Structure 1
Amino acid sequence: MSIWKPHVTVAAIVEREGRFLLVEEHTADGVRLNQPAGHLDEGESLEAACVREALEETAHHVAVDALVGIYQWTRPSGDITYLRFAFAAQASGFEDGRKLDEGIIRAVWLTPEELAAQPERWRSPLVMQCIQDYLAGQRYPLGVIRHYG
């Protein structure tokens, strides 16, 4: 008997002067917008995964400040359920010329209004929801997450 498991992912919510760091990426559904996000690697803490994914997808170094929320979303096809940990983070450096992960077209900074105007380009509804929660001031201390091992 196999045990069903969700796909655990992390996302960085990075704001600078009213704009949010997003990635434009190739997906099976076409070019989409998403936060710098990705899967948790074996043995990695959630915070470390967030920092790694942001660097790999945007060439921006980030420092994680708080947990914005935990989100569960099942794709409309029903084949995959994601469990997303979204973190508020601050950009702390940029590696000009760094090669981005395969599938990433570019990093972009968009206002919430610019993002809201193009829902057909969101990777999932979590993209806008995470920003709305961040803008509403939703923050949880990192101490609510315990990493052992």
Structure 2
Amino acid sequence: MTTIERPAPWYPHVTVAAIAQDHGKYLMVKERILGNSMFNQPAGHLEEHETLQEAVIRECLEETGWRFDPEALVGIYYMRNPTGISYLRFAFCGTLLEQVEDHEIDAQIEEVLWLDRRTLEENRDNLRNQIVLKCIDDFESGKRLPNDAVFQTIHAG
């Protein structure tokens, strides 16, 4: 009998991002990535046993000190970076509820900023990736799916 060798399973990194706008400016972070300062939305990896909405709430708080209420899914984005790592990003828009006083933000975050689209475009080379502006494009064009567009069930155990 012949054995067929199959490649190891491939899995993308699942991430979430928060899109929050106030008076034409977007909540952004400047983060240190491999020695470089890069702009990104508050974003990060989905952790085991949390929903996508729970992940984006957590990431926004951890990276900015703001409590975020995800109101809609703006889009789902797939990217493969130059090193071959693939990412599947779920971007949510929503409302900032409150800024938590004296909240310690993640160590890789250098600064929490409010930036307009023009400034982001001018700093295109310093964006974490091209998905950052694509998320804003989709947000500004009104793309929205209800949060329940992504069915989620979490089974502990």
- Rg larger in structure: 2
CA distance in structure 1 between the partners assigned to 2:104 and 2:12 by the alignment: 29
Q: Number of aligned pairs?
A: 148
Residue 111 of structure 1, aligned match among 108, 116, 130 = 116
CA distance in structure 1 between the partners assigned to 2:135 and 2:149 by the alignment: 18
CA distance in structure 2 between the partners assigned to 1:19 and 1:34 by the alignment: 13
Q: Residue 127 of structure 1 aligns to a residue in which SS? A: helix
CA distance in structure 2 between the partners assigned to 1:58 and 1:22 by the alignment: 8
Residue 90 of structure 2, aligned match among 85, 107, 114 = 85
CA distance in structure 1 between the partners assigned to 2:15 and 2:83 by the alignment: 19
One-letter identity of the residue aligned with 1:63: D
CA distance in structure 2 between the partners assigned to 1:25 and 1:97 by the alignment: 19
Percent of paired sites with the same residue: 39
- For normalisation by structure 2, the TM-score amounts to 0.92
For residue 126 of structure 2, what is the aligned residue in structure 1? 121
CA distance in structure 2 between the partners assigned to 1:135 and 1:76 by the alignment: 28
Structure 1 residue 97: Cα displacement: 1.8
Residue 73 of structure 1, aligned match among 45, 62, 79 = 79
Stretches of structure 1 that go unaligned for 5 or more consecutive residues are none
Stretches of structure 2 that go unaligned for 5 or more consecutive residues are 1-6
CA RMSD between the two structures: 0.9
1:86-120 Cα deviation digits (max 9, x unpaired): 00111110012211112011110000111111111
Residue 45 of structure 1, aligned match among 36, 48, 51 = 51
